[in-house]
């Protein structure tokens, strides 16, 4: 077994409805806190990875080159 084969978290298998609700609420709050803290960094990272000028769109399909324009 490799270290990466282990789960990151161990979730309890038998929770009451109330305990499951509290766990889900905690996980939502944790996710929101992470988004608030790291959201700006992620947006900056996306902008760094985007090309500064998008490539021009391809020309629209036109008539075949052997067809006369009239």
Give long-range contacts, CB 8 A cutoff, 24+ apart: 20-23: none
Q: How much is the pLDDT for 37?
A: 92
How many CB atoms are closer than 10 A to CB 42? 11
Q: How much is the pLDDT for 58?
A: 81
Q: Quickly state the pLDDT bin for 4 (edges 50, 70, 90).
A: low
Q: Which residues contact 19 (CB under 8 A, 6 or more apart)?
A: 12
CA 27 to CA 24: how far, in whole Å?
A: 5
Question: What are the domain boundaries of the chain?
Answer: 16-47
pLDDT in tens, 12-68: 788 899 999 999 999 999 999 999 999 988 888 888 877 766 677 887 776 655 666
Cβ atoms of 39 and 33 closer than 8 Å: no
Say if residue 1's pLDDT is above 60: no
CA 41 remoteness from chain centre: 14
Q: How much is the pLDDT for 57?
A: 81
């Amino acid at each position: 077994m490799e270290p990466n084969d282990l789960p990151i978290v161990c979730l309890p298998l038998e929770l009451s409805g109330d305990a499951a609700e509290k766990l889900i609420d905690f996980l939502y709050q944790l996710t929101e806190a992470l988004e608030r803290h790291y959201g700006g960094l992620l947006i900056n990272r996306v902008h760094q990875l985007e090309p500064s000028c998008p490539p021009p769109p391809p020309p629209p399909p036109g008539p075949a080159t052997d067809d006369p324009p009239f």
